Amino acid sequence: MQISVKEQLDKMNEMQRKAAEHTEGPLLILAGAGSGKTTVLINRIAVILENKLCYPSNILAITFTNKAAKELVNRIDNLLGDEAKGVWASTFHSFCSKVLRRNINILGFSNDFSIFDTDDSIRVIKSVQKNLGIDPQILPARAVLSRISMCKNNRILPKDYMENFGNDVYNRDIYCIYTEYEKQLAGSNALDFDDIILKAVTLFEKSSEVLNYYSNKFKYIMVDEYQDTNPLQYRLIYLLQSAHHNICVVGDDDQSIYKFRGATIENILSFEKTFKDATVIRLEQNYRSTANILDAANNVISNNSQRKGKTLWTASDKGEPIYENRLDDEYQESLFIADTILDSVAVENMHYKDFAVLYRTNAQSNSLEQMFVKSGIPYKIIGGVRFYERKEIKDILAYLYLVHNTNDDLRLTRIINEPKRKIGQATLDTLRNLANGNLTSMYDIAQNAGEYPELARSMSKLGEFCALINSFRNQKESMPISELIKEISVKSGYISMLETENTEEARDRINNIAELVSTAAIFESQSQDATLGAFLEEIALMTDIDNLDESSDRVILMTLHSAKGLEFNNVFISGVEEGLFPGQKSIESQEEIEEERRLMYVGITRAKKRLYLTHTLARTIFGTTKYNKPSRFLKEIPSEIIKPLYNKDKQGISAAAYSSPLSSRVITKTADLNTSAKILRPSAPASAACIELEPGKRVVHKTFGPGTIISKKPMGGDTLLEINFDKTGTKKIMANFTRLKEE
């Protein structure tokens, strides 16, 4: 039974309801972490439709992730059912892509344009650098792409580059690369990630007809996470709201943490200056965290000056204190985290998915991963190698892109000899040169290879390749995408190539391709526009967070930047040390420190029930051992709500003894930190040392319960055990960390 809009509004607090019922004119909703902003957005849409202020298709709701957009659509559907069909809910990039597919011909592109991801863009830049003779060691391709991205987000085109950055050798080289990079994108009928919004804004400014259509169409515009917008996104929103001025933005200036991506906190801080008749409503009641966690967050963020000001509060109780632990090094830190998780799962019947470990840099995950593997803790890293970045997936997608858009020279270059077709680099270079000289695509030259004497020796091989691609192109309209992927995988010889390798890795790659087929089948069943172009677009705009399976029972490891928008019962923030968090480069700048403090605020407010803050006396990272002081952010949390899990009075290695709130485990170390930088490893637990660990042996694990040892394998001074647990299945864990007893 559906709940009426009135019943839904009656459940809201005063400020939530005020925001939901405010429908006309510019509105800024300052929504603190966990304050129910999505509930407000959904109910605001419900109020608009309930009062028949417009049709569903006249409402545009923009978010930053596909995950958030899908949640918005699902919750609107649950509340209003068919009444809400037609509401536009999408990310910035998905919305702009949809606009461009219909109108990009005005800008000289065709609507079957490709979208290049970061890896694709870097490949183009490296190719350009090689052609221009620019040393990639002096000017790394990733650094060049970062500068180009910054330029596009600030609308600095190649022709304006030198005026903005100077005429020295460094900037002249970037200017040359940027200019040629843009030519190659245009020649491939392709856009990079930043182009999607840039071209949409350019389209609106160039065509008053297109702008008038969309600005009149959307009577109500709502933007989530407004503090994360960059100048280009601000311009897009400003143009779209020009007809009706009913712009509602939801954001939290205290969670503005993406300056490195071009986001500017000024967009939210100056909202009332931009929209003179704006109303501001603050959502400060938190429904996520305990009072102690909120006290910690409020006290930390209060030290920032660049903020509009609000104080989170909750009707919940104080909850547990904030647990702080100081360990000797990253190994002991990882051991403490692993032990605490295992104890909680065993003693309190928690699940692994109740835990997240957050860190400032990806490099910190290494010691955590090693410890989790040894301890048998299932985990998922957000920000590791994404599924769509794996070679076999990018190869099959490259076939799909070329089938969709034969102007895509980058994808052609990737797969013309994958699997091997005896089409070498010399032939590719000739194709590229002829394409450039004739102002056409490499595929067009390959199809007509007989007309070019330079390609006489490769003519038959090129003809076979083009015939293959054309056969797929003839099938793309009539064949489901999932079947087309199967057809490409087999007919191209890709599966046969992997089967011939006959290795474990090759079998995994075949399974990954099968997973891509499944993904396409799901897309076909759920999408109203199940075309090849729509499928490629969805994949291109997908982020790692979009693939997070919250039902999977695994500990989540991720950077603090990746964690925004998520919540967990128990959160560890590791490496809370000066020089790491805040980072060394931030310490000299007040503006940068405030950004880091906002990042700490985001990390703290991810925790619902329990928060652990860990730091070490010594940490080896990027090959260098450093001795850092505890972070200044720790001192900004009231001492009365912090419970230290170490002896504050102990000198030297003061983390030699520690205890979690669930155990009194003590680890003794004999080395002095000042005389040895070597990380000492604790001896094997007594329980593992006292029993024979042989295949067939029945054992009991503290967390996983009873099971049978299947195999053992010596590995690095330890033993890898494969154990089939009765309730949780087969797991591979290291003997020195098993906590086993005889059944």
> What is the pLDDT at residue 543?
63
Residue in 224, 228, 329, 392 annotated catalytic: 224
Is 606 designated active site? yes
Residues 37, 219, 461, 731: which is the catalytic one? Answer: 37
The single residue of 120, 180, 194, 225 carrying the catalytic annotation is: 225
pLDDT in tens, 708-734: 888 887 765 567 788 888 777 777 777
Residue 58 CA to residue 88 CA, distance in Å, equals: 8
pLDDT reported for residue 730? 76
- Annotated catalytic residue 255: yes
Strand, helix or coil for residue 728:
coil
Q: Is 224 part of the annotated catalytic residue set?
A: yes
Out of 16, 184, 255, 332, the active site residue is 255
Pick out the chain residues at pLDDT < 70: 1-2, 384-387, 542-550, 622-623, 649-691, 703, 715-718, 736-739
Q: What is the pLDDT of residues 97-120, one digit of tens each?
A: 999 999 999 999 998 899 998 889
The contacts of residue 592 (CB under 8 Å, 6+ apart) are 582, 585, 586
Taking alpha carbons only, the member of 358, 352, 454 closest to residue 703 is 352
Helix or strand run (H / E) with residue 689: helix 686-689
225 belongs to the catalytic site: yes
How many residues belong to the chain? Answer: 743
Query: Cβ of 349: how many Cβ atoms within 10 Å?
Result: 7
The phi, psi pair for 224, rounded to 5°, reads -90, 155
Catalytic residue among 17, 18, 21, 38: 38
As given in the structure block, the two tokens for residue 681 are 């490893």
pLDDT confidence of residue 70 = 82
Of 486, 606, 608, 632, catalytic: 606
DSSP annotation string for 126-175: HHHHHHHT--TTTS-HHHHHHHHHHHHHTT--HHHHHHHH-SSHHHHHHH
616 assigned to active site:
no
d(CA 475, CA 528): 20
User: What's the whole-model pTM score?
Assistant: 0.75
pLDDT at 490: 93
Q: Is 475 a catalytic residue?
A: no
Q: Which residues are CB-neighbours of 156 under 8 A, at least 6 positions away? A: 150, 164
End-to-end CA distance of the chain: 51
Q: Which helix H or strand E contains 698, and what residues bound it?
A: strand 698-701
Count H helices and E strands in the chain, helices first. Answer: 30, 22
Q: Residue 142: which of 154, 150, 153 has the closest Cα? A: 150
Rounded CA gap, 488 and 478, in Å? 15
CB 235 within 8 A of CB 267: no
